Each structure stands twice: as C-alpha cells, then as structure tokens.
Structure 1
Amino acid sequence: MALASADDSLRIDHEQYAIVGDEFDSATDEERAAILRTAYEQLMQRANELEQRERKAVRAHAAGDMPTAELVQTLLRNHNEAAVLSEQLEDLDQRADRVSSYSMSPMQKRVDKNLLDSHQTPHSEKSESSVRSDNKLRTL
C-alpha cells in the first residue's frame, strides 16, 4: 500500500515536471534560470525529505517501534524515489547547460548526486528483493 502511494506521488511529480519542461522550451534565458532554480529547490527539498524519512524509520526501528518489514519498505520507497530524483537532477543539469545566465556548480552536483546515490545502495536492492519475496509468501 505504501509503495503504491509513493508511485502515485512520483507520477504526479513527473507530470508537473514535464509541464515545467514545456514552459522551459519557450522561456527566455531569465525565465529558464528561474525555472531551473525553482525545480532544483523542489528537487533538493524532496531529497532532504528522503533523508529525514530514513532517519526517522531507522530510529523507530532501533527503538523497537517499527517492524523490520516496515523499515525495509521505507528504505525501498526511498531507493525508488531517489532513482527518480537522480534522473531529474541529471535533466536539470542538461537544461542548465542551455542557459547562458545559469550554471550548476560541479561540486554541488557531486554532493547532490552522492546524497541521492546513498539511497540507492546494493543493500537497498537486496531489501527490494526481500520485500517482493515476503509479499509473495503473504499472498500464498
């Protein structure tokens, strides 16, 4: 259930982002720079939300207030969402190259990419496999 709602949220975000893309193509350089700044701020807000959600889940699990399966689902949700955000960050970077009055710092791009990559570890992929196996057993 939680994964389905996360997928719905990501689809909505993607649709909103696509609209920004249409506006971007017909905008002036100044407008493009403003669109990029706004989109980047929203993307980083989402990345920070991933970080907070993970910390909260890990603390709750450590305190015995969250079952392991729920922790794994939270980590999996973060993994999937971070993958989408990574793609959006790459798209923003490519768009920034087309705007003469705007650039993204290479150092900041690395920091941002590392932040998102931290939610896409091989451990997360193993968690996804574990959740899928567990869900199959529940349906049997």
Structure 2
Amino acid sequence: MESVRLYEPFKNVSSDSEPIALPNLPHDITFIKTQVNPHERREIETDMGKLFSEVKESELISYGVIVNSFYELEPEYSNHYTKVFGRRAWHIGPLLLCNVDIEDKAERGKKASIDKHECIEWLKSKKPNSVVYLCFVSMTNFTVAQLYKIAMGLESSGQ
C-alpha cells in the first residue's frame, strides 16, 4: 500500500479495468483501479480514509512498525520495506491469540503459535495461486452484511 500511495499508478489509466503494474517491488504485481481503496485513490473522503491518513502520518514519524508476519515468509518484501522506505520493522508473527490460560499467555511474544517452518512447508505443498491470504488489520470493523459477503467469497474461492 505504501507503493500505491507513493506512486499512485492508478492515476494514469484510461479505464477501471485496465491492468496497472505497481512499480519498484520485488515481484511484478498488477491490479485494476477498482481494487484500490477509494480513500487511497483520494476520490472520496470518508472517516475511515481520514483515520488511515492519520495512521500513515504517525507511521512516517514513528520509530518503526510491528509486523504480524515472519521474515522467512516474505523476505524480499521485508528487505524492501526497510531498505527502500528506510523504516524499521519487527516481525513478530504469526500471532494467533488463541492462548487462553496464564501459562500460555506468559509465552506470547516469545514464540509463535505455529511453527514457521511448518507454515512454510504447508504453503510449499499447495498449488500455485491456490492459497488466499486475508489481512484485515486490527482496526477493521465489518458490518454483518460485509462479513457475509466475505464469507461467501471465500467459500466460492475454495471450490
């Protein structure tokens, strides 16, 4: 999203369905204009857009960010973030807050809920383009209708 914000490649397209290449990333990533949030396109101003702008401003002046991922899963992008954007990042994930008793809670932050090697092996065992990764960040608040649509989309993508 930082590259989308910086380069705004969606501004130079003739239609909403024209493929857009996101520049200066470790891999070729293409998308269409409608896949970019309206607040990122600055086409509409919403309370959520204002909140995202404030978060981005605070991120730019912060000491660094905490990332709910692990370096071995996406090393090219971890390196890209720190080298190209010049920002610090601490990868502390994946964090699954499933620990409920006192002993498990004491271990949070010391080890992941799942083994990173097991996770990578699981990903390697899947066919290319067959895994859907969703990240809603911690500030997301969905309506029941939105959650239903997400569930239906996930269900249909698994068939």
TM-score grouping bracket, smaller chain normalisation:
under 0.3
TM-score by length of 1: 0.21
TM-score by length of 2: 0.20
More helix by share: 1
Highest RCO, 1 vs 2 (Cα 8 Å, sep ≥ 6): 1
More strand by share: 2
